[in-house]
Chain A
Amino acid sequence: MKIRSLIFIFFLISISSALTVDDVEKDVMCVCGCGKVLENCECATAERMRKEIGEMIAKGMSKEEIISELQATYGKEVLVNPPKEGVFLGLWYYPVAITIAGVSIVYVLLKRRGGKWYGDPDETINVDEEYLER
């Protein structure tokens, strides 16, 4: 009974996660040179690529295998994002590094405190510039 249930669940998961062209085309670029993600391009090249992807899905290839095959055919330029490896890791680490650096600077500024106050910015716009500039 347990085995039957497991097979049934596996079958359900397989149905719900059946690979479609839509799943793949959002992760690859159209290679016609338009600079669009495949899912957003309607040119003849895009149609040809979709057909290729459809054929690979029909062969039972996984998403990773299809993307790898497309990469072998068209080069790494076909990927919507570069792989998370080697020098390309910099792409992903950079925003984290920038945010950490920013938070550190803000922390230092918040530690240094002073009470000097030259005027409410709401009100400065109501005062003559000549007066403010004195």
Chain B
Amino acid sequence: MNIGYFSVFAGLVTAAFSFLAFYLGVKNKNSELLRNAERSAYLSALFTFLASFILIYYFLTDNFKVEYVASYSSRALPAFYKFTAFWAGSDGSLLLWAAILAGYSVAFLRLERKDALTALSMAGIMGVQTFFLLLLSTVANPFEELDFFPQDGLGLNPLLQTPEMVAHPPTLFMGYAGAAVVFSLAIAGVYLAEDRWVIRGRKWIVFTWIWLTQGIFWGAIWAYKVLGWGGYWAWDPVENSSLLPWLTLSALMHSIMIQEARRAMKLWNILLAFATFEFVILGTFITRSGVISSVHAFGQSGLTAPFVSFMLAVLVLTLWLIYEKRGYIKSEDVVESPVSKEATFLFNNLILVASAMTVFWGTIFPLVSEGLTGYKVTIGPPFYNQVITPLAIALMILLGLCIAFPWRKSAGKDLAKKLKVPFLAFLIALSASLALKLKIEMALALAIFFFSLTTHIQQYIQDTIAFSSEYKSKSYLKVILRRRRRYGGYTVHLGLLLVFVGVAGSVYDQTFENVKLELNQPKNFGEYTLVYRGLKFEDTPLKTVWTAQVEVWKGDTLLTVLTPGIEEYKTRGREEIRRVDIYSEPLKDLYLIFNGGGKDYIFLEVKINPLVNLIWLGCWIMTFGGIFALIPRSLVSKYVFSERGVAA
């Protein structure tokens, strides 16, 4: 037996034991069983890590006897990409999923108090782990060996040989596996009829959300810089499946605050945790099964039955628990007044969940149409652009409004006063944009951006002054650290606003042209002048590369030399890809795609993508906001509080 496979199998046995022992230990209040369950969970994590290291070792040592290694690596592949080829295919990426979840299980055991809620949550986590290890030891075994030892492997898909693709799967899976922890906590909380799960769940929800954000960011930047079509989001089923859990988790991040403050929305929060987890499993399934055609899918049909069964089992378990614990789930009222932060949270949840349900519908509609009419239709960007745009606009306006609303209740008069300046900012931005002859859509997007930005800046200042006075503290830093949940949230909002305006800019203001550049003949494109200076040729054991040398001038200033290229890989059927090159200015990108040519001329697709950098900046600001909100009490308590629980 292959030692890697043995590790997976041992991980499976220990995970399954741990799952049962945690459940039975809580049910029968058997502490000895719980201790064994914990030991078994650690052991399962150890075996899963070991299996991962063995697979990496096989890649680094070119062990092509292992079919998975032979399929995704080659001798000429640089060592760094041999390491990342670990998650290039379906089986390896499932092992990565399991390894990350194993990491979460260890962290959960170390960080949480040893009680029934933790134990039952661990049962959920180990149940999910058992499912993945079962797949890895049956239909998705990455240690399957060939009957012969090939001279060389097929090589790694060239599109995956980029730093962005190194970051995308691990970050996304950190979010995916985190959703399993959040769901496990939620069902454990319902089973035990305890509200404590939302208090404990907060950090896991925010942590998971940060990673989902990062995963989406790296996926988008990869599409932009590597796929070479000039965009970052194509509403592809696999892209959608990473957005779905982000939307529902963002809704949950807000609605658990209502459960904390008012013991309301209990059922809703369970449903959001459930939906997030189901979307995560669906995303894993869509990417690996190829059930919906996608440029990103691996395509492995043997996974359909286990994934569908698992999703159904999760659905049945959740519905059964909701029915059994309906007495506990009965919530108290959500709002005291419609003019309150709670009310805006209801609308925020409505928009986020309606967006998720719409994207979900568009994603699975090809399957629905196949069932009803016998053929699979395609749902392209126009559908999503048409239905998501109004929801996104509503969300951005709400973002500006919600921050002006206090908890519990507010007087309409105070609110109108607060919104005066932002409304003025809206009008100025709209007028200025129209005066600059921007498209009406772009002008509206900028006006909404400035409206919401102004409410945020205003609220930052007002809150900080008010809280300083309330806490009798002159240190604004102390105030911000004490209210880090709120200020972290504000920062996330600012990041999201930048993403919004960046998307609007790149959608409504993009210009492009297919041009033929003659050698040494300048050609104007917008404010830039492009000059083709010749073709470079490079031949390595891995690939043949043709690189066009294009000078970019603005007036009399040479800005840069861009080198878009075409690479032909010698493995995987001589696959050919285009390497785009980008000249970035703070507010726009000059984006060149090399479409072929010769010594004396080349064909280029030239695009100017305005504001696209704001999307990347916005994603980092969102991440920073999430991390700020996550700062543990233990880290700041000495600075913020003079003594435990007492304000400074």
Binding site for B on A (CB under 8 A): 26-27, 29, 33-37, 39-42, 75-77, 79-82, 86-88, 90-92, 94-95, 98-99, 102-103, 105-106, 109-110, 112-122, 124-133
Known: A80-B380, A106-B350, A119-B260. 7 other contacts (CB 8 A): A35-B237, A42-B229, A42-B595, A81-B378, A94-B357, A116-B262, A122-B483
The reply to whether A82 and B379 contact each other, CB–CB distance below 8 Å, is yes
Q: Mark B328-358, 1 if CB is under 8 A from A, else 0.
A: 0000111111100001001100100110011
Task: Tell yes or no: B597 within 8 A of A by CB.
Answer: no
Least CB separation from A129: chain B residue: B199
The reply to whether A113 and B333 contact each other, CB–CB distance below 8 Å, is yes
Least CB separation from A110: chain B residue: B338
Task: Tell yes or no: B306 within 8 A of A by CB.
Answer: no
Task: Tell yes or no: B387 within 8 A of A by CB.
Answer: yes
The reply to whether A37 and B380 contact each other, CB–CB distance below 8 Å, is yes
Which listed residue (A36, A86, A99, A125) contacts B229, Cβ 8 A? A36
A81 to chain B minimum Cβ distance, whole angstroms, is 5
Q: Kindly state the separation between the CA atoms of A122 and B408 in the bound complex, as whole angstroms.
A: 13
The reply to whether A128 and B346 contact each other, CB–CB distance below 8 Å, is no
**Segment at the A interface, from B40-48, B58-66, B309-317, B369-377:** B369-377
Q: Kindly state the separation between the CA atoms of A90 and B371 in the bound complex, as whole angstroms.
A: 14
Which listed residue (A91, A112, A124) contacts B362, Cβ 8 A? A91
Task: Tell yes or no: B361 within 8 A of A by CB.
Answer: yes
The reply to whether A120 and B336 contact each other, CB–CB distance below 8 Å, is no
Known: A35-B294, A116-B332. A122 touches B486 (CB 8 A): yes
Task: Tell yes or no: B578 within 8 A of A by CB.
Answer: yes
**Segment at the A interface, from B447-455, B552-560, B640-648:** B640-648
The reply to whether B354 and A126 contact each other, CB–CB distance below 8 Å, is no
The reply to whether B199 and A95 contact each other, CB–CB distance below 8 Å, is no
Give the 4 A-B CB pairs with smallest separation, nearest first.
Answer: A114-B333, A80-B380, A40-B229, A121-B257
Known: A81-B383, A125-B633, A129-B113. A109 touches B332 (CB 8 A): no
- Residues of chain B within 8 A of A99, CB atoms compared: 350, 354, 391
Q: Kindly state the separation between the CA atoms of A98 and B263 in the bound complex, as whole angstroms.
A: 26
- Residues of chain B within 8 A of A87, CB atoms compared: 369, 372-373
The reply to whether A91 and B361 contact each other, CB–CB distance below 8 Å, is yes
The reply to whether A98 and B358 contact each other, CB–CB distance below 8 Å, is yes
Known: A77-B377, A121-B257. A94 touches B483 (CB 8 A): no
- Residues of chain A within 8 A of B578, CB atoms compared: 42
The reply to whether B199 and A124 contact each other, CB–CB distance below 8 Å, is yes
- Residues of chain A within 8 A of B440, CB atoms compared: none
The reply to whether B263 and A118 contact each other, CB–CB distance below 8 Å, is yes
Which listed residue (A105, A116, A119, A133) contacts B333, Cβ 8 A? A116
